[in-house]
Amino acid sequence: MVVGVQEVGVTDFWEESPPPFPATISELTGTPAAAQTVKDYVPGGAKVDLEPPRVRPAKSIMPPLESEPEPLVATSATGWPDPGTTMFREVRPVPVDRTRASRAFITDRVESILRPLVSICLTQANQGRIRIHSIEIDVFHDPEEDWDEITFTIHVEALPPQALAYWDSIGRAMDRWKLFLPDYLTQIIEERIGVHVDWT
Amino acid sequence: MLTGPSPASRFNPSDFLSFAQSLSTAKASEAQLRTCVGRAYYAAFLTARGRPKVEAEVRALPRRIRKRSGFHGRVIVAVRKIDSGMGNQLDDLRKLRVVADYELEAKRWPSRWKKASFLAARLVPKLSTL
């Protein structure tokens, strides 16, 4: 039957389901597979298996997930994020307050320590899921020993055991950090800066 | 002949903390709480001072530290050299104790004592292992 172009509209063409594609050569040719030879297709060829090869499912290189990952955002029924949700965890800026008295003690060398120290505190807080309220840099004077020290106090919103565990983690991170510092900076950390955590 | 006290008869610094905890009742006055904070610090400080590792670190401190700081500062620096976390926690206890003894305007003593008590109770056993 010859079908003219005019007789088949585009709509008709897509609504019509296509015939099933033959899965094997046997189905295509209508001849049993065992009776077929390559010469039917390749002149002078040897007999080959004409059944389509079985394809093994590819093995995943990723380890199996123990549980389904949590979605990054709460999705609505449409599958799209609800308006107002964000793809990223909320990051609040942590205020670092320096008292006027401390400014006289913060030399360039001390400054070069304080910046990474803030970074260590934020990293450890993030890992321990501790919420930092603020960081205060001040000076402490011991009148008995006439001793001045820079105090680096991290004010956190946590229960005492959590705050102390956080404090311990900062100490461990500082001990690792000190291994890579020159002696003159290690001395400043050990002799001139007190790192305190306050949860009260 | 006078001999020093035997180890068995030595005063245990952690008894200071036990005494402070017994003193800090719900109706404790500010004077009591300030005293308790001081005892909590000394429980930790004296424990640290008597440990062999800390003694060795104190002896190894350079002269400039020995000149500049008193014995409390030297012990704290020595503990910081061994473990930054413990050293800073001991340092915070010292700060609380100085405030308790010298700053007459300071308030919030129930919460300050709670912090000192919690810190010392956790720190003394850890310092005992040094």
Mean pLDDT of chain B: 89
**Residue extents of the structural domains in chain B:** 33-127
Both structure tokens of A187: 């001395």
How many percent of chain B have pLDDT more than 70?
A: 94
Q: Are B120 and B44 in contact (CB under 8 A)?
A: yes
| Contact call for A194 and B98, based on CB within 8 A | no
Predicted local distance difference test score (pLDDT) of residue A23:
55
Nearest to B98 among A142, A167, A199 (CB): A142
- For chain A, the distance separating the N- and C-terminal CA atoms, rounded to the nearest angstrom, is 90
State the 10-residue block means of pLDDT for chain A, 200 residues long: 43 50 55 51 51 56 45 52 56 80 86 91 91 92 88 94 94 93 92 92
**Treating both helix axes as pointing N-terminal to C-terminal, what angle do B109-127 and B30-49 enclose, rounded to 10 degrees?**
20
Chain A residues whose CB is inside 8 A of the B58 CB are: none
Which of B92, B96, B99, B126 should one mutate to test binding to chain A, selecting the residue with the greatest count of A CBs within 10 A? B92
pLDDT tens column, B1-22: 444 455 667 899 999 999 999 9
> Phi and psi at residue B105, in whole multiples of 5°?
-85, -15
Higher-confidence position of B58 and A101: B58
Mean pLDDT on B95-114: 93
HSE of A53, CA atoms in CB hemisphere, 13 A: 4
CB contact under 8 A, A147 and B84: no
Q: Are A117 and A177 in contact (CB under 8 A)?
A: no
| Interval B27-34 mean pLDDT | 91
For residue A195, the distance in angstroms to the closest alpha carbon of chain B comes to 6
